[in-house]
A and B are shown apart, each in its own frame.
Chain A
Amino acid sequence: MPPPVLTGLRAEAVVAGYDPRRPVLDRVDLTVPPGRTVGLAGPSGSGKSTLARVLGLLHAPFSGTVHLDGEPVTGYRHRTPHAQRVRIGVLFQQPRLSVDPRLTLRAAITEPLLATRAPRQAERVAELADLVMLTPDLLSRRAHEVSDGQLQRACLARTLALSPDYLVCDEMTTMLDASTTAALVGLIRDYQGRTGAGVLAISHDAVLLRRWADDTVHLTPDGVLA
């Protein structure tokens, strides 16, 4: 009998930060199973965003590993193997800082399709825009011409373009009003229902996580999970 494959996006004994003498995260283990939503709470500065960047393969840990459905991740940032990179999508807190201001929303949503030389890109963008309820006239605007809520919808469309198996949402709703928050969380749940994706939902809003996540873990100010 073959050994069981540990599925999920897993951080194993991750030590990470910006100065090896003072790591922000201290031996953190966290698993985001497929189809589940794991909430991550903790005060400012406890390392929530650092853990999001490590699990999004955007920041190399000092030690420890990230496993993607049993496969260890061998590189981070631009060294991430293509096959692993496209399986994880990341949504950031501030949509304004994560969209190139020179691009129209249509161009921003097309970027991952261009990068992976996907077929029938125009149709796929139309499909994605429809999914996140962006109208064609909004697609032709640039970031500064739309509201935070509309821009975050475009970011969600961009993240879903490659149909990721895991989504890392780092304070995705902080800049948004209650109605847009409910709408975006609803869209992510629908996507999860269709595809069985695993979601890491990071927020300082305990009420939101209670409603959104299946289980919630807490980072303490010392960067350990409690």
Chain B
Amino acid sequence: MVTELAVDHVSVRFDLPGATVAAVADVSLRLRPGQCLALVGESGCGKTVLASALLGFLPGNAQVSGSATLSDDRGPTLDLLSATDQQLATSVRGRRIGLIPQSPASHLTPVRTARAQLEEVVRAHHPAEPDPRGRANGVAARAGLSPADLDHYPHELSGGMAQRVATALALVGDPWLLIADEPTTGLDHHLVEGLLEEFRRLVADGHAVLLITHDLAAAQRVADRIAVMYAGRLIEIGPPSTVLDAPGHPYTRGLGDALPDRAFTAVPGMPPLLTDLPPGCSFAPRCDRVGPECAELPTLAADAEHAVACHRPC
């Protein structure tokens, strides 16, 4: 059996009074063990909504279409978007897909030590384990923590330590796929390096990592593919060197130019409102290469090594 997450034409809409928010539109991607895919884009472009859809964490007013097929040898092949919460809770979350959440310090229970929380997860995933304490220590070691580190309360942990505890919690059930949501935000430079190193090691061990980030430099260092999202759509996907150094989409070029060690110039204009997207290419109002054909929605070429959704690529 092929172990794979196959996301096909996934769209997520939110119904608000008087408006519909098109948060994710027609996103397709594949992820297999040994791969690290970075999903980059500015805040509000739909990255976190896509991850929430895969884990069944969307609020009740969300309307989802498309499919996200999870196939592996851990359980039956399952469409994550149509699975029940019961199926996701008992067989997917923590077991086949692990989540490393945004701002881990606020994700941990403040009144219990890291050890208490980690051992609880060990007991939930491995009820027959005779030595939950030893197993917790083992998982912590894989995330770069010593047993003594676990005896702290979350407020006593630095951002980097809390990040490692969150990683350890995600590793307990030994999922093959890890989704990390903005894991580097607010971390010092050397901690970011350490974390990316950990991700590389997990990928080398046969895990797959979906890294959601707005940090292009981090994405470049760790990912073997970068997918760029704009206004809910994937607009470019390819190897980091191509996407950052020879981008095809004018928006990707703009993001690269905004880096402080490059031109440090912003993409002109503002992202469109997700309640009121232009009918054609949603980047057209900000684009310097816009032409009449941009009134048509460009499509992302499927399954090419480097794909760009643009009528007039750079």
Contact = CB atoms under 8 A, between A and B. Distances in A.
Nearest to B276: A137
Nearest to B159: A44
A213 B258 CA distance: 16
At the interface, is chain B mostly helix, strand, loop or mixed? loop
Given A175-B43, A177-B43, A177-B214, A211 B264 contact: yes
Contact of B260 (A93, A177, A182): A182
Contact of A205 (B189, B214, B264, B271): B189
Interface in B185-241: 185-191, 214, 216-217
Interface string A104-144: 00000000000000000000000000000101010000000
Contact of B43 (A44, A149, A171, A186): A149
B110 interface: no
A178 B261 CA distance: 11
B189 A179 contact: no
B48 to A, nearest CB: 11
Interface string B264-279: 1111011101000000
A44 B188 contact: yes
Contacts of B187: 44, 204
Interface string B236-262: 000000000000000000110011110
The range of chain A's interface size is 20 to 34
A181 B260 contact: yes
Given A147-B43, A181-B260, A205-B260, A176 B214 contact: yes
B189 A204 contact: yes
A45 interface: yes
B266 A147 contact: no
Nearest to A141: B273
Contact of A182 (B189, B214, B266): B266
Interface string A178-206: 11111101100000000000000000111
A208 interface: yes
A76 interface: no
B77 interface: no
Contact of A147 (B44, B185, B191, B259): B44
The 5 closest A-B pairs by CB, nearest first: A147-B44, A183-B266, A177-B214, A178-B258, A177-B42
26 contacts: A43-B188, A43-B190, A44-B160, A45-B158, A93-B186, A135-B270, A147-B43, A147-B271, A149-B43, A149-B44, A176-B214, A177-B255, A177-B258, A178-B255, A179-B254, A179-B258, A179-B266, A182-B265, A182-B266, A183-B266, A185-B264, A186-B265, A186-B266, A205-B189, A206-B189, A212-B260
Interface of B: 41-44, 158-160, 185-191, 214, 216-217, 254-255, 258-261, 264-267, 269-271, 273
